[in-house]
């Protein structure tokens, strides 16, 4: 199969992998800060609908639609973040899940704008392969810089022990808010790019299932580094396609593979600490 043929068949899959990578990176930010926030699918939906409506109803240029698709979820994240960020663990997960449902039902009911359950049809396909690639590279670069900075150290500290982080002078609330809002912005960007790629969006694409899928990508890949979420996104996107030959058993085998990975590699596939253990022989480690 030459390159043109490959792209004709798998082009959409590769671009979906790119937007999924953005989504996995968006949830990595909050996980890196020790927060189990699962509103990323909702933020993706807000970004997707904002950008698509601007393009379709206002004839806005693609760049403006993309920018709005980033800013709108970030603004909403600021508003819901103020009360929600105080929560932690399972309570934060429940609150963000509930927010996701509110967003989905809102889109469903704002029929005159969003098309309700029928979705939005005929979104111009403006997203090019290089838009997705550029977005992934820029987000990766930005997160890499954040990780190496004082903010990254603050995230590590908050994830390790919030009280200890506070006592060392970390402004825990502000840092958590930054992670939450930046995560929402990245998820919104993924949604905006995706909307202009798939021609059609509907509220069901941004519900509970998608939220869990995004979380699975990051956890499966590993949250110990930036490579993890990318790897996880790759596996979750490609695995169902790779198993297509199994016909009806495809989803079952897909699930079994995921369960096995989580069981045997609890820190995710990309675990720098495990790689270090492999590289340093046991005797040397004890010396």
Partner 1 sequence: MTAMLEVCGLTVNYGRIQAVRGIDFTLETGQISALVGANGAGKSTTLLALSGLLPKAGGQVRFEGEDITRLAPHQIVARGIVQVPEGRAILTTLTVLENLELGAYRHGLKAADDELDAVLHLFPPLKERLHGLAGNLSGGEQQMLAIGRALMAKPRLLLLDEPSMGLAPLVVQEIFRALRAINRGGLTLLLVEQNVCQALKLAQHGYVLENGLMALSGPGRELLGHPRMLEAYLGG
| Interface residues toward partner 1, by CB under 8 A | 150, 153-154, 156-157, 160-161, 163-173, 273
User: Based on CB atoms, which residue is closest to partner 1, 135 or 170?
Assistant: 170
User: Based on CB atoms, which residue is closest to partner 1, 128 or 166?
Assistant: 166
**Cβ 199 to partner 1, closest distance in Å?**
45
User: Based on CB atoms, which residue is closest to partner 1, 126 or 155?
Assistant: 155
**Cβ 88 to partner 1, closest distance in Å?**
15
**Cβ 148 to partner 1, closest distance in Å?**
13
**Cβ 163 to partner 1, closest distance in Å?**
6
HSE of 54 in the Cβ direction (CA atoms, 13 Å)? 23
User: Based on CB atoms, which residue is closest to partner 1, 170 or 190?
Assistant: 170
**Cβ 154 to partner 1, closest distance in Å?**
7
Whether 63 and 51 have beta carbons less than 8 Å apart is answered as: no
User: Based on CB atoms, which residue is closest to partner 1, 57 or 277?
Assistant: 277
**Cβ 170 to partner 1, closest distance in Å?**
6
Whether 46 and 195 have beta carbons less than 8 Å apart is answered as: no
Whether 232 and 217 have beta carbons less than 8 Å apart is answered as: yes
User: Based on CB atoms, which residue is closest to partner 1, 263 or 285?
Assistant: 285
């Amino acid at each position: 199969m030459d390159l043109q043929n490959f792209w004709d068949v798998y082009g959409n899959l590769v671009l979906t992998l790119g937007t999924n990578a953005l989504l996995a990176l968006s949830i990595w930010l909050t996980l890196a800060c020790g927060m189990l926030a699962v509103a990323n699918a909702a933020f993706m939906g807000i970004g997707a609908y904002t950008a698509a409506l601007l393009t379709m109803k206002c004839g806005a240029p693609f760049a403006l639609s993309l920018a709005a698709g980033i800013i709108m979820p970030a603004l909403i994240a600021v508003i819901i973040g103020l009360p929600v960020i105080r929560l932690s663990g399972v309570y934060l997960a429940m609150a963000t899940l509930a927010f996701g449902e509110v967003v989905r039902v809102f889109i469903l009911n704002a029929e005159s704008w969003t098309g309700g359950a029928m979705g939005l049809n005929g979104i111009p396909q403006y997203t090019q392969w290089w838009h997705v690639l550029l977005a992934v590279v820029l987000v990766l670069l930005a997160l890499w810089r954040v990780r190496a900075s004082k903010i990254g150290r603050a995230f590590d500290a908050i994830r390790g022990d919030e009280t200890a982080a506070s006592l060392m002078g970390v402004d825990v609330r502000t840092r958590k808010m930054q992670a939450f809002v930046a995560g929402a912005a990245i998820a919104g960007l993924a949604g905006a790019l995706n909307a202009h790629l798939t021609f059609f969006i509907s509220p069901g694409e941004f519900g509970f299932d998608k939220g869990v899928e995004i979380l699975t990508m990051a956890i499966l890949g590993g949250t110990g580094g930036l490579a993890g979420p990318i790897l996880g996104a790759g596996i979750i996107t490609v695995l169902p396609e790779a198993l297509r030959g199994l016909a009806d058993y495809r989803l079952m085998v897909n699930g079994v593979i995921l369960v096995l990975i989580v069981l045997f590699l609890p820190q995710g596939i990309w675990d720098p600490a495990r790689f270090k253990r492999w590289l340093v022989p046991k005797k040397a480690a004890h010396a």
